[in-house]
Amino acid sequence: MNHRMTSRALAFAFASLLLIASSRGEILKPLDLWPNTAPGEKGDIGEERDMTKPTENLIAGKRVIRLGNVTKPTLTVYKPAPDKDTGAAVVVCPGGGYHILALDLEGTEVCEWLNSIGVTGVLLKYRVPKREGLPRHVPALQDAQRALGIVRQRAKEWRVDPARIGFLGFSAGAHLTAALSGDHQVRSYPAVDEADSLSCKPDFSILIYPGGLTLKNEGDKIAPELKISTNLPPAFIAMSADDPVRVENAMFYALALKDAKVPVDLHLYATGSHGYGLRPSSELVTTWPGRVEEWMRHRGWLGKK
C-alpha cells in the first residue's frame, strides 16, 4: 500500500479536520504567513507532500506524517473550549531535521494537548528543506519571527494574552525555538506590515529532545547561531540520556542559560531515545507533558486573564 499523500490529499485531510466539532474548542482556517511569496523563494522546491515511506517505523503504533517541500508556510490556530481558555498561547514547531516536518506527531497532536490544559496552540508550518546557499535554519527563523509577530498582532482577535506567548519545539524545531529566543531584536527580513513591528521574543520556550544546539567536535560549545544573553526567555528542556541526537545538546545549552542567569528547568531521563512526541509509552520520558503543565502553572502562565 502506498502511504504517500499528494498535496491535494493532504489539503483534503486537513480541511476535514477543520470541520470536526471538538470539545476542546475550534480549529481556525490556516493563515498564510506571508501575504505574497516568502523571502527568497524561487519556486524550485517541488510539490508539498507527505514523504513517509511504507517501510518507516510507526510511533506508538501509529504512522507519522512527514511533510516535505514546504514553500508556503502557515499558522493554524487551535482554540481551547471557552470555559477552559487561560489566555496563554504556544506556537508549536514540529521537528524533522530541517528536512521534513513531523506534522501530526509533533504538531497537530501537541496543539490538541495544549487545548486540554487551556492553552491556544498555534501550529507553525515552516519552510523545509534547507535552501541552497543558506544555513539550514535561516528560512525557518524568518518564518518563526514573522509568526510570533502575527500572533501578537491578532492576540485580541484570538483571545490571547500578548504577554503569555511561548514557543515549543521538537528536535530541529527545538533548535529553531532556541534560535528565535536569542535572535529577536531585529527581523531577518524586510518588514512586511505592522506585525513585523511587534516583539518576536517568546515569553517562554520549551525544548523537547533538541538537536543542533552544540558543536560536538568543538567541545560541545554552543552553536554560533544561538545567541546567549540575559535577555533570553525562561526555558524548559526535556531529553533522554540514550537519545542518538546526544543529550549533550540539552545539558550544555542548559548550562549556558544558567551561566547567563536565564531561568531553566532541565529534565533528563535515562531512556526514551528520540522522536516520541507526546505519544505515551512505557518510557518515563513520555510523561514530559505533565512536567510542562506543572512548570507553566508554577510560573503563572496558566492563570486566567
Q: H/E/C letters for each residue in the chain?
A: CCCCECHHHHHHHHHHHHCCCECCEEECCCEECCCCCCCCCCCCCCCCEECCCCCCCCECCECCCEEECECCCEEEEEEECCCCCCCCEEEEECCCCCCCEECHHHHHHHHHHHHHCCCEEEEEECCECCCCCCCCCHHHHHHHHHHHHHHHHCCCCCCCCCCCEEEEEECHHHHHHHHHHHCCCCCCCCCCCHHHHCCCCCCEEEEECCCCCEEHHHCCEECCCCCCCCCCCCEEEEEECCCCCCCHHHHHHHHHHHHCCCCEEEEEECCCCCCCCCCCCCCHHHHHHHHHHHHHHHCCCCCCC
304 in a domain, yes or no?
no
- Residue 129: is the preceding peptide bond cis (ω within 30°)? yes
pLDDT of residue 223: 97
CA pair distance 42, 244, nearest whole angstrom: 35
Structural domain that includes position 224 = 7-298
pLDDT of residue 24: 52
269 in a domain, yes or no?
yes
Please name the residues in contact with 124: beta carbons below 8 A apart, sequence gap of 6 or more.
73, 75, 91, 92, 93, 143, 144, 147
User: How many Cα atoms within 13 Å fall on the side-chain side of residue 286?
Assistant: 16
**Model confidence, pTM:** 0.91
155 in a domain, yes or no?
yes
CA pair distance 200, 119, nearest whole angstrom: 19
pLDDT of residue 5: 46
210 in a domain, yes or no?
yes
CA pair distance 73, 81, nearest whole angstrom: 26
2 in a domain, yes or no?
no
101 in a domain, yes or no?
yes
Number of separate domains in the chain: 1
40 in a domain, yes or no?
yes
Indicate which CATH number applies to the domain containing 229.
Answer: 3.40.50.1820
1 in a domain, yes or no?
no
> Would you write out the chain's pLDDT as a tens digit for each of its 305 residues?
444 445 554 554 444 444 334 445 899 999 999 999 999 898 888 899 999 998 888 999 999 999 999 999 999 999 999 999 999 999 999 999 999 999 999 999 999 999 999 999 999 999 999 998 888 899 999 999 999 999 999 999 999 999 999 999 999 999 999 999 998 888 999 999 999 999 999 999 999 999 999 999 999 999 999 999 999 999 999 999 999 999 999 999 999 999 999 999 999 999 999 999 999 999 999 999 999 999 999 999 998 66
Set of cell numbers at residue 251: 545539558
